[in-house]
A = this chain, B = another copy of it.
Amino acid sequence: MLSKHVHQWIQLHREEGTRLLQSMVRIPSTQGNEQEVQVLIADKLRGMGLDVDWWEPDGEVLEAHPFFYSPRSRFAGSPNVVGVMKGSGGGRSIILNGHMDVVPEGTREQWRDDPYSGKVENGKLFGRGATDMKGGVVSSLLAVEAIRGLGIKLKGDVIVQSVIEEESGGAGTLATILKGYKADAALIPEPTNLRIFPKQQGSMWFRIEVTGRSAHGGTRYEGVSAIEKSMAVVQHIRELEELRNARVVDPLYAHNPIPIPINIGVIQGGNWPSSVPDTVKLEGRMGVAPEEKLEEAKEEMIRWMERLAEKDPWFEEHPAAVEWFGARWVPGSVDPEHALMGILGQQYREVRREEPVIEASPWGTDGGLLTLLGETPCIVFGPGLTHVAHYPNEHIVLDHMFEAAEMIALTLIHWCGLDGTEVLNDEPASE
């Protein structure tokens, strides 16, 4: 059976795969520092015989696009890399997308080892980016390499994308779309704990300024505390969250207590212990349902905040206005009955001998852009551990990385189609 060969190939290349991930993790590819790891990826793709496209996105072109967001607008030294494995024709194409940017390591004291150690311990590889999502990219690379190594010929194209800027709003993937890359489907091996996400939540960042009136703390009754007013605002937002989530009936969210949360992540107000604070700033993230439009969600929140005045007349003259700023991830939705879902699920059963968990993702990825803007239905599925992404002591279970590699390789074969020139004896159809 072909699946057996793929399994064996991957098992024989565990050490190589581990070393590859180690090399990638040891390069701290935070925003603006992606070039070195991209050189490594481009070399790897060339080594496998793929045609490699290497370019630094044009900030001016990106900035003109409504879906662009990044805190920067110059991408010199921050290249995208795309490798194309041309099929023989007649098959379905697929994009394997993954990002090379990692979030900063944060306080080094919270890490047991160097944040970029790449240390292997008890079957886990540690370091910033190991789970989010260099490990997933290694799965994709190993999958393609296995197909090359086994001499398997595919009908459809496989397009491997190693992009920048996912963590900051998706400008790297946006640049691939604007450059014309598209396919019949896409897979992003973001850290899903090997769950399959045909739908993903979008999100937007908001800022709310709450106004009070200053006074000396000794006569605080002469002022109006913006901290106390901000509590009414937080409570009001909680009610909006309830309202919005009551509408979510998608069974993919059945096990999710709050499918589209509104998170308040930052609060800041006042500057003197003995003064009544006259402003409080709240910053947060509004989850957007997979089928919802960003504009509709914005509108709902703006209208809702206007209704604060019904609860407290203070807000009539001092509205808590919403501002949208910073990052924004487009939601995405692929029909759970989509052909790629069936194929991927089948390979999952083949490799893991158990039923896959199919859910909607609680966070956004570049998959929203691919699905909505790139017209390339995208599924998110990968080996990383969701709960350690962005955290100290981030790590990946290496077994999962190799299992994912196997599943992705088999998915490519079934999705893109085996060419007639089969080099192995087994027919995949007999599986």
Contacts and interface: CB of A to CB of B under 8 A. Distances in A.
Interface string A249-271: 00000000110010111111111
A427 interface: no
Contact of A263 (B217, B264, B284): B217
A225 B267 CA distance: 11
B220 A273 contact: no
Interface of A: 201, 203, 205-206, 214, 216-222, 225, 227-228, 230-231, 234, 257-258, 261, 263-277, 280, 283-285, 287, 326-327, 361-364, 386-387, 389-391
A265 B272 contact: yes
Which of A219, A363, A389 counts the most chain B CB atoms within 10 A? Answer: A219
Given A218-B361, A265-B277, 12 more contacts: A203-B218, A203-B274, A217-B284, A217-B285, A227-B234, A227-B264, A227-B267, A230-B267, A264-B270, A265-B271, A266-B273, A273-B327
Contact of A273 (B205, B219, B234): B205
B267 A276 contact: no
Contacts of A206: 273
Given A231-B234, A362-B219, A284 B273 contact: yes
B277 A271 contact: no
Given A217-B203, A362-B219, A266 B277 contact: yes
A225 B238 CA distance: 12
Contacts of A390: 216, 275
Nearest to A274: B285
A260 to B, nearest CB: 9
Contacts of A201: 218
A389 to B, nearest CB: 7
Contacts of A285: 217-218, 273-274
A329 to B, nearest CB: 9
Given A205-B274, A228-B234, A327-B274, A217 B265 contact: yes
A168 to B, nearest CB: 12
A268 B268 contact: yes
Contacts of A277: 264-267
7 contacts: A217-B285, A219-B261, A263-B274, A264-B270, A265-B277, A267-B267, A273-B284
